[in-house]
Structure 1
Amino acid sequence: MSIAMVLPATQHAKRILEQIDNNRVTIIVGATGCGKSTQLPQMLHAHLKKRVLCVQPRRMAVVAVATRVAEELNERLGEAVVGYHIGGAKQAELEKTEILFVTAGMFLEMLKQGPTSLHPYGAVIIDEVHERSCENDCALACLVKLALHCKELRSLKVVLMSATAQVRRYSEYVQPLCDHGSGRAGQYAIGDGATVYNTTRRYLKDAIAEAGYAESAPPVDCFELGRSKGRAALEPLCELMARLAIQLVARTIADDEHGGTILIFAPTYAMIERVHNMLERGFPTASLPEGVPLYVLHSSVDIEDSMAALRGEDGASARIVIASAVAESSITIKQVTHVIDSCRACEVRWEAATGEASAHIVWVSQAQAKQRAGRTGRTNDGTVWMLVLKEWYHSFAEFEQAALCLTLLRKECLLLTCAQPKQLNDARTLLASTLDPPDVDTVS
């Protein structure tokens, strides 16, 4: 029996498809690793006998999921059955690819052309709908506007998917599309039972004890966000991540299956570089065994190099992947035995008073932490090391803030103003219709 056949999403296929048949909009919630991203496009394509458009929030997720679906269908990626389009690069026959994966930004470009861009498709899947990037929120708002006002899109099936979305909010948001049917969006929860393997969660004190400091370890309070400012304030965190990774590599080689991966989440490229340098150099009392490769996953890294990190086909006894938020959702990295989560993210805010944007290190939301933890427990048991005290974690916001409410919206306003459909080219009106509308003064 293939792995796809035992995935929870596949086991729930009949009931999921019933919901989609009976509703114009369906919201599907399933635990990380349950197979939503790879199985739903295949199921819908086979069931509807129509083309399916799949929207992912990030370039790497688009390529990774499209590659996996092509492998499962035993089709060549980029030909008539499965392909992707990520702006400057594509592997698809755009006029006829049956299952097409695109970024939210590329989906916005399609919507700008009007409803005719969606005519060839029987269904649109917006995966990881919980992600609150400007592109994700604008794309959903544009889709709702077009589907609501264009008769030619009445038969289009819309599927929203996530492991951590606020289902009630999204259901209320898309409710206008459902007035001519049941009056509400269909909902299906694959459930927590979708987790195939066990995941253990450990916190900051456990991580410090495990990290193998030769002398006295740094005090817990030096890891609290906001106690000090500047790059030097993050140095203890970088050292903890590097020291812990070295210890976990040794444990993985000794105790776990051959070829395990240690995945580290760092909020900025500068921190990724710092941890990488520490691991390469080692410490006086601890260093990586020879032959353990280091990989980086970041939006600036070449897609092919990123795919090599996901595949883990280097033959090494263990490997380390240091990643930004690009690895947070949708992708499966081979045999992740440990996740080291800094529990921090980089948030860019535009200040109206100064007219400038600046980057801030902030705590992740609980939903983001759950997504990161979901990178293990997918193909094997795993441990998540959260570099915060448990009480700090429980004080985190439940969900991340919408980027539309934080950033200067010049790019989004220009994009919408250039849209062909009249329902989209009034930027003020469109942005006011998003899930969390930005401040009116910012749009003005």
Structure 2
Amino acid sequence: MTKKNDIRLVLMSATADITRYKEYFRDIGRGERVEVIAIPSSPRTRIFQRKVLYLEQIADILEMNSESLSTKYCSGVYADADAGLNPDVYQLIHKLLLHIHQNDPDIEKSILVFLPTYYALEQQWIRLLFSSDFKVHILHRSIDTDEALQTMKVSKSCRKVILATNIAESSVTIPGVAYVIDSCRSLQVYWDSIRKTEAAGLVWVSKSQAEQRKGRTGRTCDGQIYRLVTGPFYKSFDDHEHPAILRLSLREQVLMVCCAESRAMNDPNVLLQKVLDPPNSDVIQDALDSLVQIQALVKPTSPRGRYEPTFYGCLLNSLPLSFDASVLTLKFGEVGALHEGILLSIMLDIQPLPILQPFGHQALCKMFRDNYFDESGKLQVGKKEATLIGNLCAFQFWQRMFKDMYRLEYLKNVVSTQEATASHPSISKPEEVWCAFHNLVPGALNNISEIYDDVMSTLHRFRPSFLGKINPPMYLQPSEFHHACLHHEVLEIEDMNSLLLEAENPHLDSQMKCAATPYVSPTDFGAALTVVILQTLIKEMKTQLAEDKKVSCREQVPGYVKQAFESEMCVFFVRGSCTRGDTCPFSHSSRARKPVCMFFLTLQGCRNGNSCSFSHDSGSLKSSSMTSGICSQEDKATSVCCKKLLPAGGDGYILVMNDKNLQFSCKLCHYYDPSKIVACTPGLHSVEPDLVTNGILILQNVADPSHLIIGGEHKLPVPWAKLQRVLWFADFDSDESINEKVLLQKFFENIAIKTLSETLSNLQVILIMNNTKFVHLQVDRLARECFFFLSESFMFDEATLGWFTDTPSYPNGMQVSAPVAYLFNMHPPTSIQFGDYPAELRKGLRKC
């Protein structure tokens, strides 16, 4: 593929409709053709058989009444019937499980049961809870799949039963499955235009999905598949599932098309009509109108014009998040809570979340969450918002406690060995133990960290204006935060009974837990402020969506005249239950303004749609906007940036490192006292007489930052306590690119060790480098691993302070490629939590 760029490869499941794909690419061009290549299965000495049974055969096996099977278990005769699950279906599955177990003595043969929702999994699990014949496992996106699969070992004493949603159709391979019970239902996500949010509903699977589920067995032994529909009912299924492009709002897809650089592709009205399943043109237009409303697109000014993306639209399209999560991230950035906004937005998109959710134990799930955020206080928080804030606090607790402890130990190791490793060593086992001790999922925490870095990288490539000033993460406050793990708490027997704890659950089997609860108090990590910001921004987003309706329904009523002081409609009167009559302070007129629906303005949204007694119209929604309206790009560099690099008042000293030809230091002398500037070069150079005359202090041949900062090879000519700025001028040549990251890592590690050991609270680190290089080298992450957090960044004024030799890359679209000054502040770990570590560092340095 890398050598022949004229080949396009499409990988698809064996159940895909290959004929449609071939037909779609029929007119691809002269001299081109479509070939279908079947990838053979791995060679096996034996071909195992698969037998499919429907309700008719199941009724015979279980000796059930075979009359009205479709009505009882499928709510109808054909696939247009309601796909809901009634108690009879759960009972039927339970009978089937018992029948299989009693008639097949080989208990190593596992049973896989497909159910559509988390609630359905719970209902079936409850029926199996007290059975000693089965070991039940759960596969659902809210549960860490890798961990769940690791626990699925073949048991010699009981049969393994896996209850799974459609995640088990193709995402995972489960060994030893001999039986599949297929409820033939699935959960399908669609765009609810009334609630202005994505919703989900139960649907019947397609025949291709059923075949995919069938393929989960018959791999290592003969398999049997029980489909809980009748044969005729199954025949009425669609051959393939309904395409997602016909079910979604298409805002994300339309924006992506509009942001395409090619003029042949960036018109959604044209391009989307050429896809395999073209969406309705009205849906495309609704998406365009919505994107114009939030200022992600600019409407064409002429009939032949096209919708053009704004900077805000291009940035939304580039973030590695869903559409709504991207909008929320940028709004948080606008109000100065960027770190919290990114994390909350990621948690909107992913599963599992950091806080452990023991399946089937709702009381225990709530207890685990309350240890990080208890919403039962003064704040009125919705369930979904409370879950997000709780998991945010859990992530912050992990950073503040475990990660900071690890970072500190790593720096101590650097001091003792005088060496930095290319990457931090693996900490998987200690992390697993610590997370289990505090009811956290390590895989989820690390997944969030990786996505966080990706989001930050995108922001630094585009440089929105709010990157100019970044507040530190709220979990750094209060600085005296302390948590001491108490004795290992073991759940008492009566607690186990009250919570219906399963004896063999790996997270609940008399595991020792930290008893120092709550781990995070309501006053820690700025949780209360984050709740207020989240609620306000969600209202703002919902209001923007509601404003798509230019005129509210009430204003379309003939004869309606808007009054200056109009009473809200009495909700009780609408329901026929108002007893106040003429004394009621609310209006009993059908034309009165409805009160605002508070559920509509939450993450969950209002479930009542048009039948809601309250208003969903933008005219009734009072927007308390926190943001300026649209995310704009940073302004170009000006000479003002020079003042931001200098200590206030002109009292402190400046240390300039990696200034190869001393050009930058020479320029800096025009704006600051030269006698208070110490310039370091990585090599030996002839020094200009002007620099000597000005009194600038010059140290040459400082190639390794550790030699100056914590080593003895070079001695700083001024006390470190007088330093207020350390500037690293990262202007690398192309042949030095291999060593860039190693040098920067060494620089941050050594300056962190120096700052922490001598408590240099006024020292600020400033990095000057090309923003694309900043992203490529993951400098933000390198700094955070050494307790430095980016507080400010701005375009570097080359005309005033010297030109970069570092070759900039050519940015795409509205991305930026230019030298930027990055200002970092140290936020040291608390000595209350980690002891007198400055003394330990000083002791280690004296031994070097």
Which category of TM-score, normalised to the shorter sequence, fits these structures? Answer: 0.5 to 0.7
Instruction: Measure the CA separation in 2 of the matches of 1:420 and 1:303.
Output: 38
Q: 1:244 aligns with which of 71, 74, 96?
A: 96
Amino acid at match of 2:241: E
Amino acid at match of 1:387: L
| Map of 2:135 onto structure 1 | 293
Instruction: Measure the CA separation in 2 of the matches of 1:330 and 1:302.
Output: 13
| Map of 1:224 onto structure 2 | 74
Instruction: Measure the CA separation in 2 of the matches of 1:424 and 1:240.
Output: 52
Q: 1:405 to 1:218 in 2, by over 3 A?
A: same
Instruction: Measure the CA separation in 2 of the matches of 1:315 and 1:412.
Output: 50
| Map of 2:147 onto structure 1 | 305
| Map of 2:49 onto structure 1 | 198
| Map of 1:268 onto structure 2 | 117
| Map of 1:278 onto structure 2 | 127
Q: 2:216 aligns with which of 375, 386, 394?
A: 375
Q: 1:203 to 1:226 in 2, by over 3 A?
A: closer
> Cα deviation per residue 1:129-175 (whole Å; 9 max; x = unaligned)?
xxxxxxxxxxxxxxxxxxxxxxxx83344133321222221012234
SS for the counterpart of 1:442 is: helix
Residue 186 (structure 1) shift: 0.7
Q: 1:439 aligns with which of 280, 283, 301?
A: 280
Q: 1:197 to 1:423 in 2, by over 3 A?
A: farther
Q: 1:288 to 1:436 in 2, by over 3 A?
A: farther
Of residues 387-396 and 242-251 in structure 1, the stretch that sits farther from structure 2 once superposed is 242-251
> Cα deviation per residue 1:313-365 (whole Å; 9 max; x = unaligned)?
56665211111111112643111110000111222333556756543322211
Please identify the structure whose Cα radius of gyration is greater: 2
SS for the counterpart of 1:412 is: helix
| Map of 1:348 onto structure 2 | 189
Decide whether the 8 Å contact of 1:260 with 1:317 is kept in 2.
Answer: no
Instruction: Measure the CA separation in 2 of the matches of 1:219 and 1:167.
Output: 37
- Whether 2:21 is the aligned partner of 1:170: answer yes
Q: 2:162 aligns with which of 294, 312, 321?
A: 321
Residue 210 (structure 1) shift: 4.2
Residue 217 (structure 1) shift: 9.1
> Cα deviation per residue 1:194-226 (whole Å; 9 max; x = unaligned)?
99310011111333454588xx79952211245
SS for the counterpart of 1:188 is: coil
Decide whether the 8 Å contact of 1:352 with 1:442 is kept in 2.
Answer: no
Residue 420 (structure 1) shift: 5.2
| Map of 2:11 onto structure 1 | 160
Within a 5 Å distance, the mapping from 1:180-199 to structure 2 comes to: 180-181=30-31, 183-189=32-38, 196-199=47-50
Gaps of 5+ in 1: 1-49, 51-120, 123-152, 282-286
Decide whether the 8 Å contact of 1:297 with 1:322 is kept in 2.
Answer: yes
Q: Which has the higher contact order (CA 8 A, sep 6+)?
A: 1
Within a 5 Å distance, the mapping from 1:11-50 to structure 2 comes to: none
Q: 1:201 to 1:230 in 2, by over 3 A?
A: closer
Gaps of 5+ in 2: 286-848
Across the aligned residues of Structure 1 and Structure 2, the Cα RMSD in angstroms comes to: 3.4
TM-score by length of 2: 0.30
- Whether 2:86 is the aligned partner of 1:234: answer yes
Amino acid at match of 1:201: V
Which structure's residues are more often strand, by fraction? 1
Instruction: Measure the CA separation in 2 of the matches of 1:158 and 1:190.
Output: 13
Instruction: Measure the CA separation in 1 of the matches of 2:95 and 2:178.
Output: 16
Decide whether the 8 Å contact of 2:188 with 2:202 is kept in 1.
Answer: yes
> Cα deviation per residue 1:92-112 (whole Å; 9 max; x = unaligned)?
xxxxxxxxxxxxxxxxxxxxx
Q: 1:172 to 1:279 in 2, by over 3 A?
A: same
Amino acid at match of 2:227: M
SS for the counterpart of 1:161 is: coil
Decide whether the 8 Å contact of 1:295 with 1:321 is kept in 2.
Answer: yes
Decide whether the 8 Å contact of 1:208 with 1:240 is kept in 2.
Answer: no
Amino acid at match of 1:198: Q
> Cα deviation per residue 1:66-101 (whole Å; 9 max; x = unaligned)?
xxxxxxxxxxxxxxxxxxxxxxxxxxxxxxxxxxxx
Instruction: Measure the CA separation in 2 of the matches of 1:337 and 1:327.
Output: 14
> Cα deviation per residue 1:261-317 (whole Å; 9 max; x = unaligned)?
100111122111111111114xxxxx441xx321122222213224326x6456665
- Whether 2:225 is the aligned partner of 1:384: answer yes
Amino acid at match of 1:339: V
SS for the counterpart of 2:9 is: strand
Q: 1:364 aligns with which of 195, 205, 210?
A: 205
